[in-house]
Amino acid sequence: MRPGKTRFAPSPTGFIHLGNARTALFNRLAGERFLLRIEDTDRERCRAEYVAAIIEDLQWLGIDWDEGPRSAEADDYFQSRRQAIYDRYYTRLEQAGSAYPCFCSPEELAQIRARQRAAGQPPRYPGTCARLSPEEVEARLARGLKPTLRFRVPPGRQIAFDDLIRGPQAFRSDDIGDFIIRRADGTPAFLFCNAVDDALMAVTHVLRGEDHLANTPRQLLILEALRLTPPRYGHLPLILGEDGAPLSKRNGSRSIRELRQQGYLPLAVVNLLARLGHHYREEALLTLAELSEGFDLAAIGKSPARFDPQQLDHWQKQAVHAADDATLWDWLDEATRALIPASCRSEFLSLVRSNCLFPKEARRWAEILFGDAGAPDPEARRVLEQTPAEFFQAALETARRHPEDYQAFVAELKRLAGVKGKRLFQPLRAALSGRLDGPELERLYRLPGPGRVQTRLAQWITHQC
């Protein structure tokens, strides 16, 4: 059965990159309903401009949400706006004896951890403040100390859950020290508000990075103590870079912004991401609706996925090929659009579809076809220099006779010049575009218009003399 409600819950501390975009996409593809929640409780690191960027990048990717903010202006889906809700749940936990104020200072806690490490023990809160009497708590508060709030982990429990990806998981509560759920400044700790919000927002399934696996038993304990229904959790394997290390800036991760600026199309990025650790039987480029239809939690791999930049270019090629005219037109840069006569627009875009991966390549072809072709590249120059002037003379005369009819032009030139195949096409291609590769010759003949074609052919007659 398809998950009911999934979510993406980014902390706006930076731009989204391939890793968290994949998390967003998997959740989007998996669920019937999808919500966006902004986890902005870390006041020092969160910035409104990143919220705006996250929204814009998700929209650019085509990942839309059924619930959640539409702008960077904080609403009920921003955790910074939900303090009153968290406060109510803190009170409940304190009243039930499931949470207590902790007055240990960061320095004391660091010393405790250092001692535990030196003794070969895992760092764990030893429960110093767990047994303070109400009077002792009062006295400390009266001294102006600002406590954190710790969750009291029940002893001797086994916390088991069935991970959507990794299968059955079990943790011993005795391995988990009492942990902080409210910071000394009153703001909620991630573990707490993240779990409470998933329950209150009726999220049924959470797919997130495997770095969160150890948080899950803690969050299940919190929700159990509050009698709230937990979602089902699934932990996605890491994405590795080409060097086998976790994907990071150093080994090839890029932000969605960067990819967009480099000219990648959203459908290319989305087709790559959807296959990073998820297997589709279909190898062709798929729309978001098709990706969603074919998405299956059981098809998520358990081992790390590897990011291969060549794969990204493979999908880019497919996406450019499949793009409609309006999409490609928008994708070209302003200067390129300005070069293209309205009557040639559609044909130029067909050329782009089969010859270009990025807007800058389209620009180069627009310059060649509609601007000044510039100097030929060395290979084209060699061909031009080896071709006798008579060939270009014959080509120019034939072009004058058949300015609009490429087929007639080629057939006649073939006869007049007595050459065919490569010896016919290469010099023409070189003269018309300054390159030996590129679009069909017919396009190089038709798109620039008779005047430009004839000038270019003529140029190589005089050049030879």
Contact call for residue 270 and ligand GLU (CB under 6 A) = no
Contact call for residue 10 and ligand GLU (CB under 6 A) = yes
Question: Binder to ligand GLU among 33, 212, 382, 402 (CB under 6 A)?
Answer: 212
Of 194 and 336, which has the nearer Cβ to ligand GLU? 194
Question: Binder to ligand GLU among 3, 5, 9, 387 (CB under 6 A)?
Answer: 9
Which residue in 207, 301, 191 sits closest to 5, CA to CA?
207
Please state the closest distance from residue 263 (CB atom) to ligand GLU, in A. Answer: 28
Of 39 and 412, which has the nearer Cβ to ligand GLU? 39
Question: Which stretch, 68-76, 82-90, 149-157, 206-214, contacts ligand GLU (CB under 6 A)?
Answer: 206-214
Of 206 and 270, which has the nearer Cβ to ligand GLU? 206
Which three-class secondary structure state does DSSP give residue 80?
helix
Of 28 and 208, which has the nearer Cβ to ligand GLU? 208
Residue 114 CB neighbours (<10 A):
11
Q: Where are the alpha helices (DSSP H) in 152-227?
A: 190-200, 215-225
DSSP secondary structure letter of residue 278:
B
Question: Which stretch, 145-153, 204-212, 315-323, 425-433, contacts ligand GLU (CB under 6 A)?
Answer: 204-212
φ and ψ at residue 266, rounded to 5 degrees: -55, -35
Q: Which residues pair with 35 in a beta bridge?
A: 7, 67
Residues 6 or more apart whose CB falls under 8 angstroms from that of 80 comprise: 38, 40, 41, 43, 46, 74
In angstroms, the CA 52 to CA 15 distance is 10
Please state the closest distance from residue 135 (CB atom) to ligand GLU, in A. Answer: 38
Q: Is 5 annotated as a binding residue?
A: no
Residue 167 CB neighbours (<10 A):
8
DSSP secondary structure letter of residue 118:
H
Question: Binder to ligand GLU among 5, 208, 218, 275 (CB under 6 A)?
Answer: 208
Contact call for residue 40 and ligand GLU (CB under 6 A) = no
In angstroms, the CA 171 to CA 164 distance is 16
Contact call for residue 456 and ligand GLU (CB under 6 A) = no
Of 104 and 297, which has the nearer Cβ to ligand GLU? 297
Q: Please count the residues of this chain forming the interface with ligand GLU, following the rule CB under 6 A.
A: 8
In angstroms, the CA 392 to CA 394 distance is 5
Site string for ligand GLU, 153-192 (x = CB under 6 A): ----------------------------------------
Of 218 and 446, which has the nearer Cβ to ligand GLU? 218
DSSP secondary structure letter of residue 6:
E
Which residue in 214, 307, 234 sits closest to 17, CA to CA?
307
Contact call for residue 39 and ligand GLU (CB under 6 A) = yes
Cα 313 versus chain centre, distance: 14
Question: Which stretch, 6-14, 366-374, 403-411, 453-461, contacts ligand GLU (CB under 6 A)?
Answer: 6-14
Q: Which residues pair with 168 in a beta bridge?
A: 162
Question: Binder to ligand GLU among 6, 11, 98, 148 (CB under 6 A)?
Answer: 11
In angstroms, the CA 242 to CA 240 distance is 7
Q: Which residues bind ligand GLU (CB under 6 A)?
A: 9-11, 39, 194, 206, 208, 212
Q: Which residues are annotated as a binding site for ATP?
A: 249
